[in-house]
Chains A and B, each alone.
Chain A
Amino acid sequence: MKDFDKKEFFRPVIVLSCICFVATLALALTNFVSSPVIAANTEKAAVATRKALLADADDFTSVTDTMDLTSETGKATVTDVYTANNGAGAVFTVETGSFGGTLTMMVGIDKDGEITGVEVTDHEDTPGVGTKNFVADYLGQYTGLTALNTQNVKKENVQTQSGAPFAFISGASVTGTALHAGVYEALAKYAMLH
């Protein structure tokens, strides 16, 4: 057998470690630069989405800490709740399990308990398939509803504001159901506010 060659043995280890070290350093630097910008972007987007979902509201206050956010449905969880300072309603941020992973959405509900809008803020679903559920035409079906009959979007028979029955998107119903359960959860938590 050949003699144990120290150089042959240690060189790959050292080179790979060096490359990993440099790569980590570069990533840490990039993260240092980008993470505050990302956090600011996320916060700004959240504020803008809340405003868009509940146009009548003047300003928002977080009431997340005062509520019991244990999931009613088991599928979706409300992660924060903001109420409008002028009593126009509330906006719920809901996390729910969808096809590709966690889906984050916001649901606006006005003082009469009517949904003012649903918006998906983050998702890991397949573009072009699951994302068909995120267009305004589809999400607009929730506007004006005060209650859902079921958590399963395929069995939903509630009448939308236009009078047509609620229509889910065939072939993308995992995402559709995730959204549906999220809205269901938000409505349940809204009931607890009062």
Chain B
Amino acid sequence: MENQKSKLSILTNGLIKENPVLVLVIGTCPTLATSTSVETAVGMGLAATAVLICSNIVISAVHHFIPDNVRIPCYITVIAAFVTIVQMLLQAFVPSLYSALGLFLPLIVVNCIILGRAEMFAGKNGVVDSALDGIGMGLGFTLTLMVMGTIREILGTGTWLAGSWFGLAPASWKGIPILSNFIPGMSIMTLVPGGFFAFAIVMAAVHYLTRDKSKIKNDFGCAGCAMEDSCTDKSACAEKGAA
């Protein structure tokens, strides 16, 4: 693996070039579920980012001691512990955020992005790089959720940034009316099909904008593949990737 990657490029990789949701296409389930409004999108994005950074740091610190054949159970244990810790701390000290995230918080345990980064990055890199990767990927995830949340909220309910903002917004805050003064909300946008529409549009836009600038497949190469260690035909894969 090219170890000379600059710290900045590790940090910014997750934003667009290797955006976990739009380019790697992992973590689709929480993306569709929590992007119904900007408020839930931000909450989920930040909670997942916190867990991602912590788990990346711990896993990169201990991955030398973990035998290969039990690495997934070990990663899951670390991730589940962090999620539960975050859950208990939120419930105790930020109950409004805890109740806003509700069901989605325990779902972070099985968020592919966190396990995926543990496997693809933290298990092969140092602590600092892994922490940066966690921040970048987390921000990429949060930003994607916010963009999708914006589309779905404006079309679905007509307002933007509505919600209690985890108890911080004044009680009279109803969001910025964008379309609600003209047309009623299209509630399909807040349901699952609308999630797929928004997902496809954002994904297509990002791929269009980055079509020449990044050679995504090349960059991933075999080093980015979870099956690298057991792969028997790396040359074929590299050829396909370059094509």
List residues of A whose CB falls within 8 A of some B CB.
11-12, 15-16, 19-20, 23-24, 26-27, 30-31, 33-35, 37-38, 41, 45, 100, 123-129
Contacts and interface: CB of A to CB of B under 8 A. Distances in A.
Contacts of A23: 77-78, 80-81
A72 B37 CA distance: 39
B150 interface: no
Contacts of B1: none
A26 B85 contact: yes
Contacts of A100: 103
B70 A12 contact: yes
A23 B85 CA distance: 10
A33 B92 contact: yes
Interface size class of B (residues with CB under 8 A): 20 to 34
Contacts, number: 71
Contact of A16 (B34, B40, B73, B100): B73
B102 A127 contact: yes
A31 B100 CA distance: 21
B126 interface: no
Given A20-B77, A127-B36, A12 B67 contact: yes
Interface of A: prevailing SS: helix
B225 interface: no
Contact of B74 (A15, A34, A41, A125): A15
B103 to A, nearest CB: 6
8 contacts: A12-B70, A23-B80, A23-B81, A26-B85, A30-B88, A34-B88, A34-B91, A38-B91
Contacts of B185: none
Interface of B: 34, 36-37, 40, 62, 65-67, 69-70, 73-74, 77-78, 80-81, 84-85, 88-89, 91-93, 95, 100, 102-104, 190-191
Contact of A127 (B80, B88, B93, B103): B103
Given A33-B92, A127-B102, A127-B103, A27 B84 contact: yes
A11 B37 CA distance: 47
Nearest to B191: A129
A38 B89 CA distance: 9
B90 to A, nearest CB: 9
B104 A38 contact: no
- Which of B37, B65, B92, B191 lies at the interface centre, i.e. has the most chain A CB atoms within 10 A of its CB? B92
Contact of B85 (A20, A30, A35): A30
Contact of A19 (B36, B77, B102, B191): B77
Nearest to B86: A30
